[in-house]
Amino acid sequence: MADTRKRRIACFCEKVFEADLPTVVDLAARPEAADEVLRGEFMAVTCPACGKRLTPEFPCRFTGVPAGALGELDIELVPEAERVAFLRGRRGRAPSKPDRVVIGVPELAEKLAIFRAGLDDRAVEMLKFLLVSRPRQDGGSAPAAAREVIVTFRGVEGGRLLFHIAGLREGEVAVARLERAVYDRVVADLPTRLAEEPFRAFCEPPYVSLRRVEQEGAS
């Protein structure tokens, strides 16, 4: 089931209208909501004036999210527009602390894809760190200091974990594939790694994300 709330939405055509959008989604009762997120259809609405399809972001809590060995988790969606306020601790928090926080629907989709693949999100974030930390083998230059490098888990192909890396070169997205054995080694050593820096800095719940340390360091 889903709890909803009327939200005020402004279209690019300057039409302002209201729509009922979810505030809480129970995936145990409505598992198809995860597919809506992965297809980019979550919170999608159509402007009654111009017919444009809009995908606004509002706070929402996902409960009963199956996360493999981690059990069922609650995930809180923070709108992308509130990223800076959240990271600086200036955003009001929910009364009950969620197991995970994601900022923006793309991060929500990635988190659901990680759990659907039966992976531990902490180990995946560690792999992202290793990808951006290893020396460049293609002769490319290091990313500009002002440009954030964003690594996104895209799924599992042929037993290998697929990642997209944006920001290494302007306007380009690199593709990286890691053997499952690399992930398995990280998981086997997870208790040790979680107690060490820099891994502890971005793997401590609820916001388990490499972007957390990159952006906190820049603020």
User: Residue ranges of the domains in the chain?
Assistant: 1-118, 119-219
pLDDT at residue number 144: 46
% of the chain beyond a pLDDT of 90 = 79
Mean pLDDT within 151-162: 96
What residues contact 145, with CB distance under 8 A and at least 6 apart?
Answer: none
Do the strands 100-103 and 72-78 form a parallel or antiparallel pair, or are they unpaired? parallel
- Asked if 120 and 70 touch (Cβ cutoff 8 Å), the reply is yes
Whole-model pTM over 0.85 = yes
Q: How far apart are CA 68 and CA 191, in angstroms?
A: 17
pLDDT at residue number 214: 62
Q: For residue range 81-114, what is the model confidence (pLDDT) as tens digits?
A: 999 999 988 766 555 689 999 999 999 999 999 9
What mean pLDDT is reported for the chain? 89
Say which amino acid occupies 65: V
Sheet holding 60-66, edge to edge: 2-10, 16-26, 60-66, 72-78, 100-103
